[in-house]
Structure 1
Amino acid sequence: MGKIALANVLLVLLLNLSTLLNVLACPYCPYPSPKPPPKKPPIVKPPVHKQPKPCPPPKSSPKPPHVHPPYVPKPPHYPKPPVHPHPPHVPKPHPKPPLHPHPPYVPKPPVVKPPYVPKPPVVNPPYVPKPPVVPVTPPYVPKPPIVNPPYVPKPPVVPVRPPYIPKPPVVPVTPPYVPKPPIVYPPVVPTPPIVTPPIVYPPVVPVPPLPPIVTPPNPPSETPCPPPPPPPVVPYPPPAQPTCPIDSLKLGACVDVLGGLIHIGIGSSAKQTCCPVLAGLVDLDAAVCLCTTIRAKILNINIIIPIALQLLIDCGKTPPDGFKCADS
């Protein structure tokens, strides 16, 4: 026991000497650097809930009362019937089928294949490149210029208008006033007075006689006043014709172009000439200005007015439905 304790003491001394040598060898031991604070927040653990201890079972359960079963008398003993032994089982003999011997094994003859004949090589014809296709372009033939016939202006058609004859005023014919004759009634004859005889009652005072009934004569009827003569019929003045708000001379070139388009149709030259002049006018004013200029040029208005209306539509104007140039 003492040897073991001595050995332990020697072992501790040796360990101390080994550490002492290391300490003496190092002149200065630096202090350890402080650890950085933890970056993560401390983990908060949930509170531990202890499970309740189960209640111990009762040490001893009460025993149920012992109940004896009721007494049941045994049934009377009856003798068993005699046992008849069964006859022994004899298996029926099964006849075996006859054995047929297998035929002798005959090996199959070897399969003789025909000799392999390699296919002859396929010889393709030599490649002949196709000749390049050169497109054949026909020579350019310029179109001949379109020669329009010279413009021959038509002579102006002077419309023959009859002289204006004003209509005579309509004078209403009123018949002469004939007064109605007075109505003459027959004379009224007054009725004679009715005289009733007095009725005498014994106890009643007699009634005095009634006065005579006199009807007054009817007054003579008055003659009615003659009706006043009707006022003279004054004819309404004709409605004022709309006038062109611009100078009609500005549309002279436009109307000249329209006169040359009777058999050709409206082209771009007519639109370029007329549309800038008609741009600042209302639909009705533009139509009236064209009518005024056509009349000033002494042209056939019945032929040119459909072309003028079509020009108005091409210039973005909408003339009223059923528009006609007013007669001068």
Structure 2
Amino acid sequence: MAEIRLGIEAPFGVLPGRSFDVQPFPIEPGDRIVFLTDSMRECNAASLDVAAVLEATAGDLRDDATMVCRDRYGGPPRGRTTEFGADPEPPRRPADPDVRTGPRAGRYRLATMRIDRAGWPFITGPLAPAAVLAVAGPRGTRWLASPFVALSAYMALFFRDPDRRCDSVPPDPDDVLSPADGVVMVAGEPQDGVAPEGEWQQVSVFLSVVDVHVNRSPYRGEVVESSYRKGSFLAAYRKESAHRNERTEIWLRDTEGPTARTVVFRQIVGVLARRIVTRTGPGQRLATGERMGLMKFGSRMDVFLPPECTLTVAKGQRVRGGETVIARWPATG
């Protein structure tokens, strides 16, 4: 019997992670998928995404296959344990030759982390005074360069652009993915005066200043309309920000299936943000989870979906852009 080990990574190498790496694997009868975790919180988060793992793996899990959440270092299961089929066997040692370790496409690697091109002026700007103070500053004052170096490091962190699962594993054609990292503020009936005309459901994600601010398309389709509106800079978590703040609205229409599907989403800046970067326009076709822009220094994203979609997230839930499924269209065919 073989094991497929899916590791939960620690973002930036310091903070506890909440995602796992998924790649297609051929699953044979009796195989087991094992979540390797570092904490109870991660174990719980992993067990909530069992459906995503099942959809991302190639092949079918038989009745005698098992999925279990275990401690990364070979300890007993921690937190909620999700199992399918037979009772799990004791975890194998990492050196077991029958263990297959999947590629870690979604992990954070500081040395090779992609930085969005919009961030380089903010990263290099503080380094100029830091260099002057460090090289030419009077002795005893060179420590003043430290705050500028720290600011540059924070800017690099803010404009980081990590790969996500959708970059290596094609999403299910019925899945709608979160367009950004953050916390769900609204999931369900739209806020008053916020949604476009017609019947919609609303999912809103608030991005803090420590979240990844690269935005992704929540669904596939052609951009049929894109509009920019100037406005205020209220705190993004306030309801009024959805219709009073500076924002970009994008309409996507997918006509590949038997019926056309329309998704509307907005980039809305917050109290600190002063610029929206939108790298798409009418006539361009976007894939589900494709990068399409970013917002600077705290913001929110609103997604509007037709009533026939089933929402899969709840208010207060933390989501990851390009990975977390926020809704599903009814299956066709």
Larger relative contact order (CA 8 Å, sep ≥ 6): 2
Query: Normalised by the size of structure 1, how large is the TM-score?
Result: 0.15
Query: Normalised by the size of structure 2, how large is the TM-score?
Result: 0.15
Q: Specify the structure having the higher radius of gyration (Cα).
A: 1
